[in-house]
Amino acid sequence: MFLRNCWYVAATESEVGLQPLARTLLGRPVLLYRTGGGKAVALEDRCCHRNLPLSMGAREGDDIRCGYHGLKFAPDGNCVEIPGQTQIPPGTQVTSYPLIEKWNFIWIWMGDPALRNDTLLPDWRCLDDQPGLTRTMGNDGKPLPMQCHWELNNDNLLDLTHVVYVHADTLGGAGLDRFPITTERLPRAVRMMRWSENVTPPPLLAQLAKYNGAIVDRWQATLCELPSHCTIDAGFGPPGEIGRDGDWDKGVRLRALITATPETETTSFMFYQQVRNFAVGNAEISKRFIANIRDIFLDDVHVMEGQQRTNSARPDAPRIEIRADAPLIAMHRVIEQYAAKESAAG
């Protein structure tokens, strides 16, 4: 059902505090909280005694006490107290999931603990603090809930032609589809790129960056890493000045880091941040930008939820492929390979 041996974003850093946060991830109820020292903890959200969600209990020191009969669980998932008895039976424990806090997100490993591999985080170093860039958290620190399968988000971001139709007034632009896309297949990822010359700039970015040129050279690139971690690199500059293989930071450049974490088979969470090299440090622009991007992504969610309704109603309806699908088809293959591998490993 889900790729398990990889990292997912479980929450943004600001969502998780001393109070337990309940969230279903990969079909499993999970409880997130922080210890007194500020360390994030993720536990299976059910007491192994009578199945009450532990999120209905309370943090007590660094531990969680069940709200039904008072069993207390430590951050490692082991029960450390059963009121009324001194002995704790073997197996009195809940799953504790490994977490990494990085780039303002809390990443969770819900697969085989023995296979945990921290190098499988996506390469999102553009989120590190650095001069000349301003980072904004999408949707003010909360994910967007989506009533659709997580993989539709990969599909959406690996075919950016959709900006012409779904985001015409903000990220669209005339002429994009005249230019071919390239597809690069990597072992655990797919890279899509389109370089368009002498086209119109994306209206929203031109406006926020106060760019007045009517015609630009423009790039759209997506790196989609297993399972659902997408880096969108998009921007533009005066015709002829930057070049497909030139320094994109000379132009108006936006990177959007977007990932979909499955909640169930047909619902998911979209987490995202943006990094821009224009209006750097401008809080007013940041505020507008966060609101604009949220509206844009809600349009994407609307589309993906529409697809999901058809997918659910007509799972076997025949479908065709177009040229622009090459990157997403390549990514489907990568996911299928890893799913088969996990399935074979039991």
Residues that bind a second copy (CB under 8 A): 27-29, 45-46, 48-53, 56, 65-71, 82-85, 89, 91-92, 155, 159, 161-162, 164-166, 177-178, 302-303, 306-307, 309-311, 313-314, 317-325
Burial class (CB in 10 A: 0-12, 13-18, 19+), 263: buried
Q: CA 180, CA 175: separation in Å to the nearest integer?
A: 11
Do the beta carbons of residue 77 and residue 93 sit within 8 Å? yes
Distance in Å, CB of 239 to a second copy, minimum: 21
Phi, psi (degrees; rounded to nearest 5) at 56: -85, 0
Question: Hey, what are 307's tokens?
Answer: 């697809």
Distance in Å, CB of 128 to a second copy, minimum: 34
Between 71 and 258, CB nearer to a second copy = 71
Do the beta carbons of residue 194 and residue 201 sit within 8 Å? no
DSSP state of 15: G
Between 161 and 207, CB nearer to a second copy = 161
Do the beta carbons of residue 321 and residue 333 sit within 8 Å? no
Distance in Å, CB of 210 to a second copy, minimum: 30
How far does Cα 104 stand from its chain's mean position? 12
Convert 91-130 to b/e letters by CB count within 10 Å (16 or more is b).
ebbbebbebbeebbbbbbbbbeeeeeeeebbbebebbeee
Between 126 and 164, CB nearer to a second copy = 164
Between 105 and 159, CB nearer to a second copy = 159
Between 179 and 338, CB nearer to a second copy = 179
First to last CA, the chain: 13
Distance in Å, CB of 2 to a second copy, minimum: 15
Between 288 and 332, CB nearer to a second copy = 332
DSSP state of 300: H
Between 168 and 340, CB nearer to a second copy = 168
Distance in Å, CB of 136 to a second copy, minimum: 27
Distance in Å, CB of 50 to a second copy, minimum: 6
Q: CA 143, CA 26: separation in Å to the nearest integer?
A: 15
Distance in Å, CB of 28 to a second copy, minimum: 8
Between 56 and 100, CB nearer to a second copy = 56
Between 101 and 305, CB nearer to a second copy = 305
**Radius of gyration over every alpha carbon of the chain, rounded to an integer in angstroms:** 22
Do the beta carbons of residue 288 and residue 204 sit within 8 Å? no
**Residue that is written with structure tokens 């406006």 in the block:** 207
- What residues form DSSP beta bridges with 335? none
**Residue that is written with structure tokens 């207390």 in the block:** 72
